[in-house]
Amino acid sequence: MADWDALEALLARTLYADCGWLAGEEGCLLTVEPVATPRRDRERWAQLAFEAFNVAGFFALDAPVAALYAVGRPSGTVIDVGHDKTDVAVVLDGGVVPGSVTRMASGGAAAEALLAARLAGRGVDVGGLDPVALRAAKQAVAAVRPSREAALADMAGGNEPAAAHTLPDGTPLPPLTPADGVAAGECLASPADAASVRHALAGQDCLAEVALAAVAAAGGEAAAVSSTSSSTTLAARRSAAEAFVLVGGGSRVPGLGARLAADVRASLPAWCSSPPAWPEAPSYLPPDSAGPLAAWSGGAIAARVVFVQNQHASRADYDEMGPVAIFRRGACG
């Protein structure tokens, strides 16, 4: 976290103005954090919650765990495509397997950089281009084809005229063609196409390969922790491959989920005897609870359980042990 003062101001507005908290009558707070959040940041979160906002209890939840809660699964592999990064993590029985976590410097920003480069190649002045306009244009045209071959064919033969897009206020967007949209989508499905992120992929071509590598790593990590036989390794890998969940802002890109599902199924190793599921939100949740809202929905579900069952760090725990209470009470998911 770069600016804790700004976070405190934002949280004060959210809790007291938007959520209706009253000073002196604060409740419990559950936060959903990016995977691999440093321990010192979690302790600072706890300190902020108890000392600045006088919460009665605090619980920190990893975003991949929350995402799986949103689709009713305790185990699976979460692919979180964000703006400036993509996280892949395996969750087994409600906990992230540390050795499975992969973070790539690719996401919406890489797709926007790719589009800017394509525009510059056509003589468009991108120096004064409004980043908001470029992002809106990407959201308007980005699409993922069913296969890499189909995407490359569309990009090679794309001579369609640029589509005209405008923002709601009438601001014109950069002139992007359908082929540009396919290129942006392929940057998400196969990040190795973006030169700026090749170094982060360890030779892997697409998100499906990264996800399967995470599943393999989870099996090895689980066996090492439990000191059991290879049968446990296989069971852990199968549990991790039972469900793949695509979340984050990138999950809105048309065709990305179907492309990842196809790539995963085409690359499954022999030990996976049945195709993995790509579960949707259960019927008792709104249909848009997964995808970009998965962490929020899963956090709401978790909050209805952890505080009732006293799995959180309480005010008494914090007064006795300080910020480390969130670890000693097991109040981190």
Q: 130-164 pLDDT, tens per residue?
A: 788 888 888 888 999 998 888 888 887 666 666 66
Instruction: Tell me the CATH number for domain 74-278.
Output: 3.30.420.570
Which tokens is 44 given?
């600072």
Average pLDDT over residues 163-186: 78
How many Å apart are CA 260 and CA 296, to the nearest integer?
23
Which tokens is 292 given?
């970009």
Non-local CB neighbours of 61 within 8 Å, separated by 6+ positions: 30, 31, 32, 33, 298, 299, 302, 332, 333
Residue 153 CB neighbours (<10 A): 13
pLDDT of residue 255: 94
Residue 22 CB neighbours (<10 A): 9
β-bridge pairing 86-92 and 95-96: antiparallel
Residue 212 CB neighbours (<10 A): 25
Among 175, 167, 164, 185, which Cα is nearest to 114's?
185
What distances in angstroms separate CA 195 from CA 44, 110, 131, 201, 272, one per listed residue? 36, 9, 20, 11, 33
At 244, is the secondary structure helix, strand, or coil? strand
Which tokens is 229 given?
């036989």
Asked whether the beta carbons of 137 and 106 are under 8 A apart, the reply is no
Q: 245 pairs with which residues across the strands?
A: 78
Q: Which of 12-16, 42-46, 64-68, 279-283 has the lowest mean pLDDT?
A: 279-283
Residue 313 burial (10 A CB sphere; 0-12, 13-18, 19+): buried
pLDDT of residue 207: 85
**Chain segment 244-271, per-residue pLDDT in tens:** 999 999 899 999 999 999 988 888 877 6
325, amino acid identity: A
How many Å apart are CA 122 and CA 199, to the nearest integer?
27
26, 55, 302, 8: CA torsion to nearest 10: 100
What is the 3-class SS of 168-189, one letter each residue? CCCCECCCECHHHHHHHHHHHH
Asked whether the beta carbons of 260 and 186 are under 8 A apart, the reply is no
pLDDT of residue 331: 53
Percent of the chain having pLDDT more than 70? 85
Which tokens is 311 given?
């799995």
pTM of the predicted protein model? 0.86
Which tokens is 288 given?
């848009």
- Domain edges within the chain: 4-66+289-328, 74-278
Angle among Cα 284, 286, 289 to the nearest 5 degrees reads 110
Which tokens is 125 given?
């002045």
Q: Decide if pLDDT at 186 tops 60.
A: yes
At 96, is the secondary structure helix, strand, or coil? strand
Instruction: Tell me the CATH number for domain 4-66+289-328.
Output: 3.30.420.40
pLDDT of residue 51: 93
**Strand segments (E) across 262-323:** 313-314
